[in-house]
Amino acid sequence: MCKSGEANGLRIALIVADGMGHAEEGGISIHDVGKSKGRVDRMWRVTNSVYQRALSLNADVYHLHDPELIPIGLKLKRRGKRVLFDAHEDLPKQILGKHYLSKPLRRMLACIFARFEAYACKRFDGVIAATPFIRDKFLPINKSTVEICNFPLLSELQSEAEATQRKQRVCYVGGLTHSRGLSELVTAISLCRENMRLDLCGRFESAAYENEVRSLPGWSHVDAHGHVGREEVRAIMGKSIAGLVTLHPLINYLDALPVKMFEYMSAGIAVIASDFPLWREVITANKCGLLVDPLRPEAIAGAIDELASNPDEAQRMGHNGRKAVEKLYNWGIEEKKLLNFYIALLDVESTC
């Protein structure tokens, strides 16, 4: 988003709290308010520092990406500023999915936040929604709501690898967590009939969970690369017959559009995905992959075996996915929507 704005003539300042200091990168000024020392420090000191820095910049538009910054948005509105809220997920639903909280507490917190979110977003100048579901939720609250999805750049991940290079490997790129189905993936790779290997790219959620996963029988079929750059991700996808996105059926995943699914499609490889209604629409309509029950390793293994045994079909699915990204699911399309949204707020002549 920052690079798109800067490339189209907007002066962009990004406020962060990573402790890496101020910087200038590609014409974008990065303002660091210091890394938080914990959750309480993040909620109070860091949030207040972000507000003070935001005020000092005296921007024409303030684009907020974190729910804890909603109070800042209300304070900026009281000062006559234009404020947008970027809703990445349905937070009240996320709260309902936090099973470490009791059911009555979950319901109470979700209700309180839903009311506060609606109160604030009704007063903001606009809402940017990451999915159609979130857009439909916010439209009755704020008519100036637009859906802008986090789709990939067209040229970033495309590979020219031939089908013959994609017979014996599948990949997963993302957070290595239990809820994202990692345990089932590692178990599944050990059940495959073909001599398959699983490439993992990402960081484990904890050392304890990493030890748990490494103890699974399928780990001997895994190549763990850790956190890697985009070029290495591209190379790994280019050698894979399919990309895996088998998240568990949790309330905050069911209506989400996972970035990785579209990145696999952009790379031109087949997708093996959880059989959720929203995801089914994408995979089935574009004939670009297989759908599975993410809680059944044997179903995941069956899908991997099917693609490994039919490389021409896997390549056909990969081509279909790439065509769909070129036509529908790419950042170039979303970028124009974002810039036109900014332009409407700034009341200047459109160049998009």
| 33 pLDDT more than 90 | yes
Instruction: State the DSSP H helix or E strand holding residue 337, giving kind and residue range, or none if neither.
Output: helix 331-346
Shared domain check, 339 and 321: no
Cα of 127 vs its chain's centroid, Å:
18
323-350 pLDDT, tens digit each: 999 999 999 999 999 999 999 988 754 4
273 neighbors 247 (Cβ within 8 angstroms): no
Q: Contacts by 259-262 with C-beta closer than 8 Å and gap 24+?
A: 259/150, 259/151, 259/152, 260/173, 260/174, 262/151, 262/152, 262/325, 262/329
Q: What strands lie across the sheet with 242-245, from one edge to the other?
A: 222-224, 197-201, 169-173, 242-245, 270-274, 289-292
More confident position, 42 or 76: 76
User: Which alpha helices (H) appear in 192-310, and where do they start and end?
Assistant: 207-214, 230-238, 251-254, 259-267, 277-286, 297-309
Residues 6+ apart with CB under 8 A from 250: 97, 179
Query: pTM for the complete prediction?
Result: 0.87
| 164 pLDDT more than 60 | no
Shared domain check, 40 and 142: yes
341 neighbors 146 (Cβ within 8 angstroms): yes
Lowest mean pLDDT among 52-56, 85-89, 330-334, 346-350: 346-350
Q: Sign of the CA dihedral 8, 14, 20, 22? A: positive
Query: Residue 72: what pLDDT?
Result: 95
101-152 pLDDT, tens digit each: 888 998 999 999 999 999 999 999 999 999 999 999 999 999 999 999 999 9
Residue 89: other Cβ atoms inside 10 A: 17
Shared domain check, 263 and 223: yes
Nearest-10 crossing angle of helices 259-267, 311-327:
110
What average pLDDT does this structure show over 257-269?
94
Shared domain check, 334 and 305: no
Shared domain check, 28 and 110: yes
Name the pLDDT band for 352 (thresholds 50, 70, 90): very low
Task: Give a yes or no: residue 173 inside a domain.
Answer: yes
173-200 pLDDT, tens digit each: 999 999 999 999 999 999 998 789 999 9
What average pLDDT does this structure show over 233-250?
94
Residue 66: other Cβ atoms inside 10 A: 14
Instruction: List the domain range (segments joined by +) for residue 293.
Output: 163-327
Shared domain check, 108 and 78: yes
User: Which alpha helices (H) appear in 79-225, and where do they start and end?
Assistant: 91-96, 103-123, 132-138, 182-191, 207-214
| 15 pLDDT more than 90 | yes
Lowest mean pLDDT among 75-79, 101-105, 258-262, 285-289: 101-105
Shared domain check, 122 and 137: yes
Task: Give a yes or no: residue 282 inside a domain.
Answer: yes
Report the number of distinct structural domains present in the chain: 2
Query: Residue 349: what pLDDT?
Result: 45
Structure-token pair, residue 145: 């709501």
Task: Give a yes or no: residue 158 inside a domain.
Answer: no
Task: Give a yes or no: residue 351 inside a domain.
Answer: no
Distance separating alpha carbons of residues 291 and 280, to the nearest angstrom: 7
| 7 pLDDT more than 70 | yes
Name the pLDDT band for 81 (thresholds 50, 70, 90): very high
Shared domain check, 173 and 75: no
Shared domain check, 264 and 186: yes
Q: Which amino acid belongs to residue 105?
A: L
Query: Residue 180: what pLDDT?
Result: 95
Name the pLDDT band for 294 (thresholds 50, 70, 90): very high
Task: Give a yes or no: residue 314 inside a domain.
Answer: yes
Q: What's the CATH code of the domain at 286?
A: 3.40.50.2000
Shared domain check, 203 and 303: yes
Shared domain check, 207 and 146: no
Highest mean pLDDT: which range of 28-42, 147-161, 270-284: 270-284
Among 237, 160, 241, residue whose Cα is nearest residue 194: 241
